[in-house]
Chain A
């Protein structure tokens, strides 16, 4: 048995370890939040709390050509408005498509044991392969179909690569619905399709919400496909951020402000589905 003193020492060490990790997570975020509200003169200082608080870094993001001349950089940057709207539209629509198609597939897989057309292996594969390895032919294919730089092209691509998550998350939820309920509805004379929409769909609604939010999170953060397949018209927020940080150089304040704008929605969604994050990220192999 451990002595009283050892126990106190161990719990102190535990708090210290957790404290260090919490600081490791928080300091980079705190630095970016502080940069976002600092005026130009304070971008290179070592303290975190801005002396002259400013909203200017955010305002400047919504104007074009705002940066010409600052620090000798002559980059002309588009306002963030269009990428923001594009991201919202593309992400929402592709999420709805992926969740609905995922729901039907998961229903088939759960009730009739059809694990989709290609089985476990293929559905896993679409998520496991590096996007860089199949973006090249998609670009060629899209340019032949005239789908490059269109919202539609991005939406169907995102639906296709995230539908896997919809299938796996929803299958868990549908498996939990007793099949007797459906049998009861069919005995009452409901058609199979009516049973699907009137019995299964309403009960699986929490699953649809979880799957939808998780897919939204994944799509919102995707860079490579959007980078290759868009140019001017359908640019999404991650592409805008990548151009802004990579090409523009040392505009620390606005870059930090842009990082904050890009993280508001995913953070809100992430905490909303905190309990289901494990399930989502591991395709339901690990229950949260």
Chain B
């Protein structure tokens, strides 16, 4: 360290970020906490600071709201499904691609392509793929089921609509898992693997007993980050299914969006947001404590 740390710099350096975050995020966040205890909608014709305080009513309403609970459990199911599938696919792919082979660079470049696309574009792609005359029906399923395949309307049944969302997510984010697992596996020191080989371990044992334990922290990081991203899901459902048929593919993000924008029930949307925020903060805080602070 320099002998005389210039204090002005220390405060000056973090001043802009303080101003920006306070002005754009902290103030609205404070407003949201207040809003959640009000009964307010723009349709009431008054400003929000004039609205009556109704205490915990909004929170109680959320806990008794079947549509909210359904959206919450659906989003949880979605998150667990896509993260699990993406993790195993990504790990398998990273393991396969670990050695040298012809065309490796090209294979990796193609593999990570979906990662760079905007989710709205991916949603558009799969909206087009799953049309009744799209290639999924018209090419693949037609080969198996014949003309029947053209009468499958993916977006009109709750189960199949949900599956299209899972497929879009898996298509776009398996490369994310692949990239992290690949760089983690490549970073495992060669001498450890060679030492195990000399001792006569099979390649499966080396993978299970040497490589996997070494990359465990990165696996956790990848699972948590991807899980939190998947829980946010809005774009695919908004574009591909519109939450439908009915509200059967509605995610938490979509329900909050609709409550605030379509039904203009701002204070109820704020209360639901706070419930979700509290849940996520607990998960993230536990995650940071467990993996970054516990040992110190």
Contacts and interface: CB of A to CB of B under 8 A. Distances in A.
A166 B209 CA distance: 37
B275 to A, nearest CB: 9
B1 A221 contact: no
Interface string A209-224: 0000000010011011
B20 A263 contact: no
A135 B17 contact: no
Nearest to A132: B253
Nearest to B123: A245
Interface size class of A (residues with CB under 8 A): 35 or more
A55 interface: no
A126 B25 contact: yes
A285 B114 CA distance: 22
Given A105-B13, A196-B9, A139 B253 contact: no
**Dominant SS among interface residues on chain A:** helix
B252 A132 contact: yes
A213 B46 CA distance: 43
B70 interface: no
B125 A28 contact: yes
Nearest to B229: A128
Contacts of B129: 28, 31
Contacts, number: 291
A286 B116 contact: no
A144 B42 CA distance: 12
A89 B220 CA distance: 37
A133 B128 CA distance: 30
A70 interface: no
Contacts of B176: 281
A73 interface: no
A194 to B, nearest CB: 11
Interface of A: 11, 14-15, 17-18, 21-22, 24-29, 31-32, 35, 43-46, 97, 100-102, 104-105, 107-108, 111-112, 114, 116-118, 120-121, 124-126, 128-141, 143-144, 156-157, 159-161, 163, 167, 179, 182-183, 186, 192-193, 196, 217, 220-221, 223-224, 227-228, 238, 241-242, 245-246, 250, 252, 255-256, 258-259, 262-263, 266-267, 269-271, 274, 277-278, 281-282, 285-288
Can you list the 5 inter-chain pairs with the closest CB atoms, starting with the nearest? A270-B116, A108-B13, A221-B118, A132-B253, A137-B32
Interface of B: 1-2, 5-6, 8-10, 12-18, 20-21, 23-25, 27-29, 31-32, 35, 42, 47-48, 92-93, 96-97, 101, 107, 109-121, 123-129, 131, 133-135, 138-139, 142, 171, 175-176, 179-180, 183-184, 187, 218, 221-222, 225, 228, 231-232, 234-235, 238-239, 242, 252-254, 256-257, 260-261, 266, 269-270, 273-274, 276-277, 280-281, 284-285, 288, 292
